[in-house]
């Protein structure tokens, strides 16, 4: 099949495009610049590259034409963030493309009340990003149910992999957390320490997209959670991570007010966004309908990220990894 991937040079595309190429598909990558994927792979030599500024072309009403002119059988949209943009693409591709797959987010769900969270069973999202992702997923579901374009939406957790910082034990990207844990120094944690984060390796997300293409009939009109088999809470995550450096985590619970005094507003906001939601999702639907079988537990996925960052001098640790 001829598959067009929109935004394929990022986290997911780094693994997805080589997978699709190895499977024998003809792949076209649309990106807004010349940035290369996070990991080199010989399969990229066989990928057609198309440069397009989606934001500008959406404003001009021509982005759908850019995609349609490539005559795809399947379109995978990894970088759609507004309902308006999604609706425009659907309207243009309706009747011309066999399958549209959209990358959503676990932030389509609000703060957890009952765990694990099944598709569409979570609380109402908050924040513009999560609200838009939920609206897009619902629109796509209705589109297919009403006899229009065949669509599928997949909703990853906190994506990790080699080449970028993972969401850390405090629910943010603060690199200082790793220095503290590797040194065995006390780490202040806001809240109870039982708040959850649900990571997923980028290659497992890529696997889910590939499975959805292979099982198109089962994926038609459906939405799927795509996360690791288990989730980490703050306490457990910190203890596991400290152990990678031969340390035991020393955790000091503090109030959110106290925590905000010890970090930057940006890190504090990220921590609140992740820990207040406290997400843990079920993947039973994806396993049953798509055969999704994640290869990474969350701690293994994060460790791969941390190891890459240390090896490439992008993360400073007080002690070397012992795993």
Write out the H or E segment, with its range, that includes residue 228: none
- Supply 214's token pair: 């292979």
Q: What angle do CA 252, 170, 283 make, to 5 degrees?
A: 125
Give the pLDDT of residue 33.
79
Q: Dihedral of CA 241/246/251/257: which sign?
A: negative
Q: What is the pLDDT along the chain (323 residues), one digit of tens a residue?
A: 999 999 999 999 999 999 999 999 999 999 997 666 777 789 999 999 999 999 999 999 999 999 999 999 999 999 999 999 999 999 999 999 999 999 999 999 999 999 999 998 999 999 999 999 999 999 999 999 999 999 999 999 999 999 999 999 999 999 999 999 999 999 999 999 999 999 999 999 999 999 999 999 999 999 999 999 999 999 999 999 999 999 999 999 999 999 999 999 999 999 999 999 999 999 999 999 999 999 999 999 999 999 999 999 999 999 999 99
Residue with tokens 């993947």: 283
Helices (runs of H) and strands (runs of E) counted in the chain: 13, 13
Write out the H or E segment, with its range, that includes residue 260: helix 256-261
CB 9 within 8 A of CB 31: yes
Give the global pTM. 0.97
CB 11 within 8 A of CB 161: yes
CB 187 within 8 A of CB 250: yes
Rounded Cα distance, 77 and 89, in Å: 10
Q: Is 195 helix (H, G, I), strand (E, B) or coil?
A: coil
Give the pLDDT of residue 37.
72
């Amino acid at each position: 099949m001829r598959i067009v991937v929109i935004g394929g040079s990022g986290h997911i595309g780094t693994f997805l495009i080589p997978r699709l190429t190895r499977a024998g598909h003809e792949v076209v990558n649309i990106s807004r610049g010349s940035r290369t994927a996070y990991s080199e792979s010989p399969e990229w030599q066989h990928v057609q590259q198309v440069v397009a500024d989606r934001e500008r072309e959406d404003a001009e009403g021509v982005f759908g034409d850019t995609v349609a002119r490539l005559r795809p059988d399947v379109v995978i949209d990894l970088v759609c963030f507004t309902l308006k943009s999604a609706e425009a693409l659907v309207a243009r591709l309706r009747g011309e493309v066999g399958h549209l797959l959209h990358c959503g987010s676990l932030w389509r769900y609000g703060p957890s009340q009952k765990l694990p969270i099944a598709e569409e069973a979570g609380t109402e999202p908050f924040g513009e990003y999560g609200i838009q992702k939920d609206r897009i997923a619902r629109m796509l579901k209705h589109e297919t149910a009403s006899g229009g374009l065949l669509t599928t939406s997949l909703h990853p957790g906190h994506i990790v992999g080699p080449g970028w910082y993972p969401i850390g034990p405090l629910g943010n990207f603060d690199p200082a957390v790793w220095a503290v844990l590797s040194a065995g120094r006390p780490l202040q944690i806001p809240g109870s320490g039982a708040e959850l984060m649900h990571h997923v390796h980028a290659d497992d997300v890529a696997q889910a997209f590939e499975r959805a293409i292979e099982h198109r009939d089962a994926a038609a009109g459906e939405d799927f959670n795509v996360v690791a088999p288990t989730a980490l809470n703050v306490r457990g995550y910190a203890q596991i991570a400290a152990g990678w450096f031969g340390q035991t985590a020393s955790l000091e619970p503090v109030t959110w007010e106290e925590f905000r005094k010890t970090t930057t507003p940006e890190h504090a906001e990220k921590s609140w966004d992740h820990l207040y939601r406290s997400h843990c999702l079920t993947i039973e639907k994806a396993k049953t309908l798509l055969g999704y079988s994640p290869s990474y537990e969350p701690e293994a996925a994060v460790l791969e990220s941390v190891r890459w960052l240390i090896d490439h001098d992008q993360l400073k640790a007080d002690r070397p990894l012992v795993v």
